Amino acid sequence: MRTFYVRPQCEAGYGTGDGVSYENAWNGLASVDWDALAALASAMVLVCGDPAGRDRVIALRVDWSARAALKKAA
């Protein structure tokens, strides 16, 4: 399972902004690359809430394999 990172939006952004590391995190939730996540069976997205450090983190597991079952249930 791959891990991606999202940090609070800031003007300067974070490194390459590709989400593959804390240093290169996506710049706010609006910058999440959903196509990159959809290309994987499952992924972990760490939403880091403190721009000064890693002490506040919410872990979200994205599992696209359950998507078809959810659509049938709706």
Q: Residues 20-50: pLDDT tens digits? A: 999 999 999 999 998 888 888 889 999 988 6
pLDDT value of residue 58: 87
Is the per-residue pLDDT at 17 higher than 60? yes
**Rounded to whole angstroms, how far apart are CA atoms 5 and 22?**
6
Lowest mean pLDDT segment, chosen from 9-13, 42-46, 60-64: 60-64
Record the pTM: 0.80
Between 42 and 74, the more confident residue is: 42
Comparing CA positions, the residue from 49, 66, 67 lying closest to residue 58 is 49
Q: How confident is the model at residue 73 (pLDDT cuts 50, 70, 90)?
A: low
